[in-house]
Amino acid sequence: MPRLYFIDREIASGKYPNTRTLAETYETGTATISRDIEFMRDMLNAPIEYDYTNKGYYYTEKTFRLPAAYSSAEDMLALGMAKTLLSLYKNTPVYEAAKQLMDSVTAPLEEDENSHWYEDRIIVPPVPSTQFSPEIWHNVCEGLRKNRVLKFEYRSTWDSGYTPRRVLPYQLLFDNGAWYLYAYSKEGKGIRMYSLPRMRNICLVDETFTFPASADFRARIDGSYFGAYSGEKTYRFRIAFFGDGAMRIKERLWAADQKIKERSDGVILTFSSSQYGKVLELVLANGRDALPLEPKELVRDWQENLRDMQGRGKLLKK
């Protein structure tokens, strides 16, 4: 970016610099300067033209200068780190397009050997990602963009086979490597969550709808941070955590209204959420370091899971 600003200053000065004089002054190659000027013209909309009489470049808009926002080292570092974060989407249909866009914006940094220091020092560990056909992705996106009803066959956790579904696609959610369609089910007459890899034979129906603002996923789970899950009822949770589990709980914000009470043997986390299924997952994921206290539904489901695990554990003895 400093090189781009040097070129910007020289052109704006009215001295009609050319690639040779710019390269000599900045002590770089003429090919580098040519690429920089092309990038400024194509990507930053700089009105650069070549004057054959004065044998140099000038701005057709006399008052043009590169925006100051491009010069911030912090901004460029943030942009580079954003490219690193793209790895979370590596096995999804949006990755290649997003990466190409980011690469084009950061092209001027490629020749600076110190500009990529973060790539080997700031790491985003990969997560397991779901796999599905481009046809599913395309049809879901078209349904969202055009507010068109979708028809597909779906296999849920409880079904032994695929069953037909007609839905009003509301939003597409990405959660920990998995994509979900948040939609209104015509058969179930309510909002449901559909995993994209479990769909097949998807197509758009010649029927449109109006997306209701009240159905926005963000509004339905407002103040609760447990990923792509939405329930109809909001619960008040109290969960005790011990050992390493207590340390992990204290390090994160789980809900806007959460309260953490310190105890001699751990902590008690209290909060409200409509994401019941995800809260149950949190309790089970912490194993012996978690003990649900409220509501009674959570205590009951946790106990049922314990009994099932104990039953399966006995199979190891046979």
**Looking at the domain assignment, is residue 125 inside a domain?**
no
Least confident of 50-59, 115-124, 281-290: 115-124
63 or 155, which is more confident: 155
What pLDDT is stored for residue 252 in this prediction? Answer: 95
Mark whether 183 and 245 lie in a shared domain: no
Least confident of 53-67, 154-168, 202-216, 234-248: 53-67
pLDDT for 70 beyond 60: no
Least confident of 97-111, 187-201, 213-227, 290-304: 97-111
Q: Which two tokens stand for residue 114?
A: 């110190």
What pLDDT is stored for residue 123 in this prediction? Answer: 82
**255 to each of 130, 223, 259, how far by Cα in Å?**
27, 5, 9
Average pLDDT, the chain: 88
* Domain limit, last residue, from 212, 243, 265: 212
* CATH code where residue 230 lies: 3.30.70
What pLDDT is stored for residue 318 in this prediction? Answer: 62
What pLDDT is stored for residue 234 in this prediction? Answer: 93
**Looking at the domain assignment, is residue 8 inside a domain?**
yes
**Looking at the domain assignment, is residue 85 inside a domain?**
yes
Q: Taking residues 295-310, what's their average pLDDT?
A: 96
Mark whether 230 and 246 lie in a shared domain: yes
**Looking at the domain assignment, is residue 63 inside a domain?**
yes
Dist CA 66 CA 46 (whole Å): 7
**Looking at the domain assignment, is residue 17 inside a domain?**
yes
What pLDDT is stored for residue 146 in this prediction? Answer: 96
* Domain limit, last residue, from 163, 181, 212: 212
Mark whether 191 and 272 lie in a shared domain: no
Residue with tokens 């199979």: 315
Mark whether 268 and 303 lie in a shared domain: yes
Q: Which two tokens stand for residue 314?
A: 């006995």
What pLDDT is stored for residue 149 in this prediction? Answer: 98
**Looking at the domain assignment, is residue 30 inside a domain?**
yes
Structural domain containing residue 225: 221-314
Burial of 240 (C-beta count, 10 Å sphere; 0-12/13-18/19+): buried
Dist CA 177 CA 196 (whole Å): 12
Mark whether 40 and 11 lie in a shared domain: yes
Q: How many domains does the chain have?
A: 4
* Domain limit, last residue, from 167, 187, 212: 212
- Are the C-beta atoms of 256 and 265 separated by less than 8 Å? no
**Looking at the domain assignment, is residue 129 inside a domain?**
no
Q: Which two tokens stand for residue 279?
A: 């809260």
pLDDT for 300 beyond 60: yes
- Are the C-beta atoms of 296 and 251 separated by less than 8 Å? no
* CATH code where residue 34 lies: 1.10.10.10
pLDDT tens-digit readout, 138-182: 999 999 999 999 999 999 988 889 999 999 999 999 998 899 999
Mark whether 233 and 306 lie in a shared domain: yes
pLDDT for 213 beyond 90: no
pLDDT tens-digit readout, 245-276: 999 999 999 999 999 999 999 999 999 999 99
pLDDT for 75 beyond 60: yes
Mark whether 61 and 81 lie in a shared domain: no
- Are the C-beta atoms of 140 and 198 separated by less than 8 Å? no
Mark whether 269 and 240 lie in a shared domain: yes
